[in-house]
Amino acid sequence: DTGVSQDPRHKITKRGQNVTFRCDPISEHNRLYWYRQTLGQGPEFLTYFQNEAQLEKSRLLSDRFSAERPKGSFSTLEIQRTEQGDSAMYLCASSQAGALTLYEQYFGPGTRLTVT
Amino acid sequence: GESVGLHLPTLSVQEGDNSIINCAYSNSASDYFIWYKQESGKGPQFIIDIRSNMDKRQGQRVTVLLNKTVKHLSLQIAATQPGDSAVYFCAENIGSSNSGYALNFGKGTSLLVTP
């Protein structure tokens, strides 16, 4: 499978604990995005990497959230001191900059986080 | 604020019929729109896209129409099949080169295809 992969697929944690998610984008894609999706809603943009540089963070990304893409390949999203409001599906997407594919993003299956 | 929204939250159609899913947007500066399909437990899957300099674009069994005058977008699915049952999202480009052209998604329309 050469698509975007995410791990784990499901995570249940207690309030106050830290969690980390991993995303492996399509190998030749230099752009990587994190989105959050709550039940019944569309995905909301969180942050964007071009290669290893984090170029954009949305206001939804509080100080408890941090994302990295150290070698410009896989990325991690960490949430510290989780709150019940963090319960959501966390989606990763990747794309390759190019004249014909300026915007098209390919999504992974997501990590569903439940904070109890 | 400016947003992308959908007219109907759910749509039920019979197998073989054509489906039309509508979307309204309010950001007149949007220059690119995408339709995604999301099945239960999966991430959104790209269906078709359209740039603002176009009125219509066709794919395999799908057509996207863009009416910039009334800021309306629609997705037409021909000969709807049970495998088309999913939630459909329209999305618009909200970002710049700094944000990698991040997308703003609407709420979604649930399409149910009945035999």
Amino acid at position A19, single letter: V
Best of B6, B25, B38 to mutate (most A CBs within 10 Å, chain A):
B38
Encoding tokens for residue A26? 């399509």
Give the minimum alpha-carbon distance from B39 to chain A in angstroms, rounded to a whole number. Answer: 10
Q: Please enumerate in sequence order all residues whose Cβ is within 8 A of that of B66, keeping only pairs 6 or more positions apart, or say none.
A: B33, B50, B52, B54, B55, B56, B72, B73
Bridge partners (DSSP) of residue B12 are B112
**Cα distance from A14 to chain B (closest Cα, Å)?**
22
Rounded Cα distance between A52 and A55, Å, is 9
Residues of A at the B interface (Cβ-Cβ below 8 Å)?
A: 4, 31, 33, 40-45, 48-50, 55-56, 58, 91, 93, 95, 102-110
Given an 8 Å threshold on Cβ–Cβ distance, is B94 in contact with A91?
no
Residues 6+ positions from A61 with CB-CB distance below 8 Å? A46, A47, A67
Average pLDDT value for chain B: 87
When pLDDT is cut at 50, 70 and 90, the band that residue A100 belongs to is low
In chain B, whose CA is at the least distance from the CA of A30? B100
- Residue A54 β-bridge partners: A49
Smallest CA–CA distance, residue B12 to chain A, in Å, is 17
B109 vs A: CB within 8 A: no
The minimal CB distance from B98 to the residues A41, A55, A104 is found for A55
Residue A97's closest chain B neighbor by CA? B100
Q: Which residues of A89-112 are buried (b: 16+ CB within 10 A; e: fewer)?
A: bbbbbbbbeeeeebbbbbbbbbbb
How many residues are there in chain A? 116
Q: Residue B35 corresponds to which tokens in the numbers above?
A: 């339709």
Pairing between β-strand A75-79 and β-strand A53-57 as defined by DSSP bridges: unpaired
- Residues B38-68 pLDDT 10s: 998 899 999 999 998 999 999 999 999 999 9
For residue A77 the two structure tokens come to: 């999203």
- Which is higher by pLDDT, A53 or B1? A53
Confidence category of residue A33, pLDDT binned at 50, 70, 90: very high
Per residue in B10-34, pLDDT (tens digit) is 999 999 999 999 998 878 888 889 9
Of B41, B101, B107, the CB nearest to A42: B107
- Among chain B residues, the shortest Cα distance to A32 is held by B100
How close B69 comes to chain A (CA, Å)? Answer: 23
Q: Under a CB-based contact definition with an 8 Å cutoff, are residues B92 and A93 in contact?
A: no
